[in-house]
Structure 1
Amino acid sequence: MNFELTEERQMLQDTLRRYLSDKYTTARRNEILGSEAGMSTEIWTELAELGVIGALFTEDQGGFGGAGFDLAVVFEELGRAGVVEPFLDGALIGGRLLAAAGRSDLVDAVIAGTAQLAFAHGEPGGRYDLDHVTTTATGGTLTGRKAVVMNAEAADHLIVSATNGDAIGLYLVAKGATGLEVQGYPLLAGGRAAEVTLDNTPGEALNLGLDAIQNVTALAIMAQCAETLGAMETATALTKDYLGTRKQFGRPIGTFQALAHRMADMLIEMEQARSAVINAAGHLDSDERDLTLSASKNLMGRVGRLVAEEAIQMHGGIAMTQEYELAHIAKRIVMADHRFGDTDYHLERFIELSTA
């Protein structure tokens, strides 16, 4: 099989990598992380103008991509640069849900970079179960609590899951709606999330249910794997450079056999991780989608932890300083395992799907 990028995807990758290498320095990221918003509207707008958000949607939805490998190209580059802006939650998840609901007006605004979304689905005690929803919808109003809602503070609209009788549905809630309370906080890996409380808050039914939640979560898992791959590539490259420049006993420490073997192990695991992302991207529209995604997510979690720990150990104390690139990248890699199901969850899911 030919795993080379198409000409269009190669151009997208080159453009995005060049932009981020120029604009997204460690100092700039630390400045963004220290800001009250936790994100840069300038970066968001400029990336939207470059077509990055449009690549996350199909032509029918107003974009020019939307396939698994389009998502992989975008999120791998975002992960490589350690971008903290909420493209996964504020554009991909929310935008694809609105596209499924036929809300082209809002989707166009998301692609243009003029609208922000948040997906309020997870609840206290819900773990990774997508069908755990205790928020209720009655007479067009929503009551309940949502936990760790990414991008909730900046969002113009929240897409909220709630039960109406025995069925789970999705509802569109405008920013500042009556009874809506958003308590935000910074995240360890960058960006911001919030605890969201709804008290008889008006919501517009989107006529979407659990199937839509499962489909968009599948996209998010694949994108998260690609983002983690990009972050691991940066961690590996930083470690390789450090081993080649840091000297001990008059020669680079990378020439010491013990460290050279550990570096070789990292590179081998990186190839495994890349294969997992390619496999996941290629199966998004197949009957084996969920099985493949669980296998990929499990592997990315195990490899990611290995790469993060090895990179930090071979660097030493400098790897823990905020001014050094690896500090942020390593946190991103480790925390990525806890989104959309960790290694243990996806191992159990893989076994269940394999025996079904």
Structure 2
Amino acid sequence: MDFQPTEDRRMLADTLNRFIAEQYGFDVRDRIARSGEGFSRDLWQRFAELGVIGALFAEADGGFGGDGFDVAVVFESLGRGLVVEPFLDTLIVGRALAQAGSDAQRESIAQLIDGSRLAAFAHDEPGSHYEATRVTARAEKRGDGWVLTGAKGVVQQGEHADVLLVSARTSGSDYDEAGISLFVVPRASSGVGVRGYRKIDGGRAAEVTFDHVELGADALVGPEGSGFATLEHATGFGLVALAAEALGAMDVARDFTLDYLRTRKQFGVPIGSFQALQHRMADLLLEIEQARSAVINAAAGLGAPRAARERALSAAKYTVGRIGARVAEECIQLHGGIGMTWELPLAHYAKRLVMIDHQLGDEDHHLERYVAFGRAA
């Protein structure tokens, strides 16, 4: 199989990398990440105009890409620039609507692609520990509509999203796959409570509560009680995205460290000439290439049967979680004390690599998941 990117993907990557280098330098990114909104609406619109959001979706949904490799190309570039705009949630929500949404819900994907509508993914709950089937939020039938109660945690850009894609249980017990339903909930709905906060790796997230929120029948996404398959499908694209983002961040951390080893002198010579440091760096480069292979495998496996697909996704997430932490630790140690300073971009890449491990399941969770799907295969 040829894993070389197509000409269109190379052009997309070149355009996006150039835009980020020219318009999204570290000082700009740091200012945006620490702002009250945690992202830039102006830059979000400019990303949309460049076609970056559209590359995440198939032509049938108004985009011009949508393949696993399209997602990987975009997010690898975003990882190189530590971009904090809400690409991940836009991808997951849009993919869920494309998979199971009504005609009207699918039409709304166009507003996500052109940047005029912000969506957030509200699935994780306090105490869920990455278990995708653990849903305690409840939606009860009332007339033709629904009444939603419960709480969701770490909702990315939950303060500023126009709509939330919310998982809620309509039947079954807390850990059942069956009985999970998905709902599109306007953030401004009566009964929706949002408490926002800054994230350690930049940007903002929120804790969201639902106090008897009344929803119409058109809020339901797909058949009642059948939302888990849609969740798994949409978060699969999210796992490829996070793994590729981590790979982009690793590449930059590596480049920073190589440059430092070539310029920092001790005893009158560059410290990169010391054999012990060369060996450590060579080991790190091999690890990053292993992560790259795992990302390629996951992107290629999105269309495979469920067991093979989920094993490839969990293998990639486990790999970038383990290697990302090592890259962060090694690069900071090879820089010495300066590697921990706020002013040096490397520290921010290290934080992001560590936090990527905790999104959509950490390495321990995905190792267990990889083994479980291996038994089922």
Query: Percent of aligned positions with the same letter in both sequences?
Result: 52
Q: 2:346 maps to which residue?
A: 326
Alpha-carbon distance, 1:34 to partner:
2.0
Alpha-carbon distance, 1:98 to partner:
2.1
Q: Distance in 2 between matches of 1:302 and 1:179?
A: 40
Residue by residue over 1:107-129, the C-alpha shift from the partner in whole angstroms, topping out at 9 and shown as x without a partner, is 10110011100111111111111
Task: Give the alignment partner of residue 207 of structure 1, picking from 213, 222, 236.
Answer: 222
Q: Distance in 2 between matches of 1:210 and 1:353?
A: 16
Alpha-carbon distance, 1:106 to partner:
1.6
TM-score norm. by structure 2 comes to 0.92
Alpha-carbon distance, 1:105 to partner:
3.0
* Residues 164-203 of structure 1: pairs in structure 2 closer than 5 A: 164-166=170-172, 167-203=179-215
Alpha-carbon distance, 1:99 to partner:
2.1
How many residue pairs align between the two structures?
355
Q: 1:27 maps to which residue?
A: 27
Residue by residue over 1:111-169, the C-alpha shift from the partner in whole angstroms, topping out at 9 and shown as x without a partner, is 00111001111111111111111111122120111111111111000111111123111
Residue by residue over 1:296-343, the C-alpha shift from the partner in whole angstroms, topping out at 9 and shown as x without a partner, is 111111111111100000011221122211011100001111111111
- Is contact 1:9-1:73 (8 Å) kept? yes
CA RMSD of aligned residues (A): 1.0
Q: Distance in 1 between matches of 2:265 and 2:75?
A: 35
Q: Secondary structure at the match of 2:276?
A: helix
Residue by residue over 1:74-106, the C-alpha shift from the partner in whole angstroms, topping out at 9 and shown as x without a partner, is 0000001111112101x1011112222041332
Q: Which runs of 5+ in 2 are unaligned?
A: 173-178
Q: Distance in 1 between matches of 2:165 and 2:24?
A: 30
Q: Secondary structure at the match of 1:71?
A: helix
Q: What residue identity is the alignment partner of 2:322?
A: R
Residue by residue over 1:233-255, the C-alpha shift from the partner in whole angstroms, topping out at 9 and shown as x without a partner, is 00000000010111111111101
- Is contact 1:173-1:202 (8 Å) kept? no
Q: 2:158 maps to which residue?
A: 152
Residue by residue over 1:175-205, the C-alpha shift from the partner in whole angstroms, topping out at 9 and shown as x without a partner, is 2111000001111111211110101112321
- Is contact 2:34-2:202 (8 Å) kept? no
Q: Distance in 1 between matches of 2:190 and 2:333?
A: 50
Moved over 6 A (4+): none
Q: Distance in 2 between matches of 1:351 and 1:127?
A: 18
Q: Distance in 2 between matches of 1:258 and 1:15?
A: 38
TM-score norm. by structure 1 comes to 0.98
Task: Give the alignment partner of residue 244 of structure 2, picking from 226, 232, 245.
Answer: 226
- Is contact 2:137-2:169 (8 Å) kept? yes
Q: 2:74 maps to which residue?
A: 74
Q: What residue identity is the alignment partner of 2:110?
A: D
Q: 1:310 maps to which residue?
A: 330
Q: 2:64 maps to which residue?
A: 64
Q: Secondary structure at the match of 2:302?
A: coil
Alpha-carbon distance, 1:219 to partner:
0.9
Q: Distance in 1 between matches of 2:252 and 2:157?
A: 25
Residue by residue over 1:6-30, the C-alpha shift from the partner in whole angstroms, topping out at 9 and shown as x without a partner, is 0110110000000000111111111
Alpha-carbon distance, 1:61 to partner:
0.7
Q: 1:346 maps to which residue?
A: 366
Query: Bigger shift: 156-165 or 49-58?
Result: 156-165
Q: Which runs of 5+ in 1 are unaligned?
A: none
Q: What residue identity is the alignment partner of 2:96?
A: L
Q: 1:123 maps to which residue?
A: 125
Q: 2:175 maps to which residue?
A: none
- Is contact 2:297-2:312 (8 Å) kept? yes
Q: What residue identity is the alignment partner of 2:183?
A: Y
Q: Distance in 1 between matches of 2:44 and 2:193?
A: 25
Q: Secondary structure at the match of 1:190?
A: coil
